[in-house]
Amino acid sequence: MAKGTIIYMGNFELPDKNAAAHRVVNNGKVFTALGYRTAFLGTVKNESFSGIRQSDYNENIFEEAYPKGTKNWIHHLFDTKNIEAVAEKYPDTCLVITYNVPLVTFKAVKKTFAKKNIKVAYDCTEWNDYTVGSLPKRWYKKIDEKQIRTKLHKHCGDIIVISSLMEKQYQGKNLLKLPPLVDVDEPIWHQEVEKNPKIFEFCFAGTVGVKERVDRIVNAFSQLKQDNVRLRIIGITKEEYLSIYPESKQRLDSRISFMGFISHEESIRYLLSTDCYIFMRDKTRQNQAGFPTKFAESYTSGVTVICSDVSDIKHYADEDVIIVENTDEQQIVKAFHIALSKKISTHLKNQFDYRRFIMQTDKWLDNALK
């Protein structure tokens, strides 16, 4: 008999289409380990339908269509019918967790469930004022980012945060700091690897966006003189890269390969097979407040990791992590050489395994459900 049902709602595409999905699913495993049932209300971006629908791969996962057009988007900010419909399926619902929703949406959900004596918490993983879409949507995103950053704790007493910076900002509330979690028992972490002992491979997996400095990685790699090194770039094509960084065309050579988008399972297989994973992010407020899922995953894989000094990475790093202070190309070149000289010993690590965070989550839930 479950202690009750916890419902996670937000803009995540289950089961594994984005980092948000990986976070809520693994957080849900913590709740399950504590005796709760976890249900989810995520989004579907490429389909149109009304209300909610149950997924065909898990009875506790529900989906709603991502709003299209400014009018539907504004309506979606205040509409709580879909999350109410999910809660109606679980009479023992004891907590609703909103994942990175706008503050007005959180307030609407909180008001709705206050009438049902159900607590509402917030899982905050970013202070991000960037989005795509219409001008009103982009304008509102900037306003909402400031509201989440400065006013969330005035409206929410139970908050899950992802970094020490957020923990400090929201101090005084019932806080649970959870970095991106993994489940090291999942088959995805036990795939057969393919390594070429004659080649040292560096790997980056991600997108070209406001966070990543993949251009600095490419430019630094091009300065290496060794013939037996490779750089694999997953998530973007060569054409997509050059459309943003045309000045890097002369830096590209046959040692650099672009793979475009692949599944999360394939991405992890390449991660397990590489010799060194690398990502670079500038020290912006957004990057300091968040925490890179790619660090949690690359650290778990056991490979050498090169990364910039952002967020709480130094707190979790060990001898297999090479941290550069910023994204200066010459610092990255030095890090490449250090990685090439290190002894490679790949073994899975459980620092971010969800089982390590059960006790602190239990304490947070006890306070939240009082």
Angle at 251 between CA 245 and CA 256, to 5 degrees: 95
In this predicted structure, which of 64-68, 209-213, 248-252, 322-326 has the lowest mean pLDDT?
209-213
Q: Which residue has the higher pLDDT, 363 or 16?
A: 363
Mean pLDDT calculated for residue range 170-195: 96
- Is 163's pLDDT higher than 90? yes
Q: Within 180-328, where are the H helices?
A: 214-221, 238-244, 264-273, 285-289, 293-301, 313-316
Report yes or no: 175 and 364 within 8 Å, Cβ to Cβ.
yes
Of the candidates 205, 201, 340, 182, the residue with the CA atom closest to the CA atom of residue 280:
205
Distance of CA 112 to the CA centre of its chain: 28
Q: Which candidate, 238, 243, 288, 234, places its Cα nearest to that of 265?
A: 234
How large is the average pLDDT for residues 133-143? 87
pTM here is: 0.94
Question: Comparing 346 with 320, which gets the higher pLDDT?
Answer: 320
Q: pLDDT category, 136, cuts 50, 70, 90?
A: confident
Is residue 126 within 8 A of residue 160, CB to CB? The reply is no
Average pLDDT of the chain? 94
- Beta-carbon neighbour count of residue 352 at 10 Å? 22
Average pLDDT in the 211-226 region?
94
Domains assigned to the chain: 5-181+354-368 (3.40.50.2000), 187-341 (3.40.50.2000)
Query: Which pLDDT does position 276 carry in this prediction?
Result: 97
pLDDT band at 206 (very low <50, low <70, confident <90, very high): confident
**Could you tell me which of 292, 299, 289 has the C-alpha nearest to residue 268?**
299
Whole-angstrom distance, CA of residue 50 vs CA of residue 330: 53
pLDDT at position 1 is: 61
